[in-house]
Amino acid sequence: MSDFLMGIAFFLIIEGLVYALAPLVLVEMAKRLPYVPEHQLRLAGVVSVAAGVGLVWLLRG
């Protein structure tokens, strides 16, 4: 359970850094998001999940 909470904490840190250091970049990306095809968003999500699982596997293995 502590690993799960640590993961959430790191997510919040990274998310907060994006908002704190580059808010205008985030706003521009959000404006463009509706124009990205759904299949590209889905593929990006699957690739992100796979990369995260792979990284956890490498670090914990």
The amino acid that residue 17 corresponds to is L
pTM: predicted TM-score of the whole model, two decimal places: 0.72
Q: How many domains does the chain have?
A: 1
- Supply the range of the domain harboring residue 36: 2-60
pLDDT at 56: 87
What whole-number distance in Å separates Cα of residue 52 and Cα of residue 12? Answer: 15
CB 26 within 8 A of CB 18: yes
User: Is 2 a residue whose pLDDT tops 90?
Assistant: no
Share of residues in the chain with pLDDT > 70 (%): 100
Lookup: tokens for 10: 């790191």
Q: Give the mean pLDDT of 15-30.
A: 94
Q: What is the mean pLDDT of residues 30-44?
A: 96
Measuring CA to CA, how many Å separate 6 from each of 1, 25, 42?
9, 27, 26
Residue 23: pLDDT over 90: yes
CA distance 39 to 59: 30
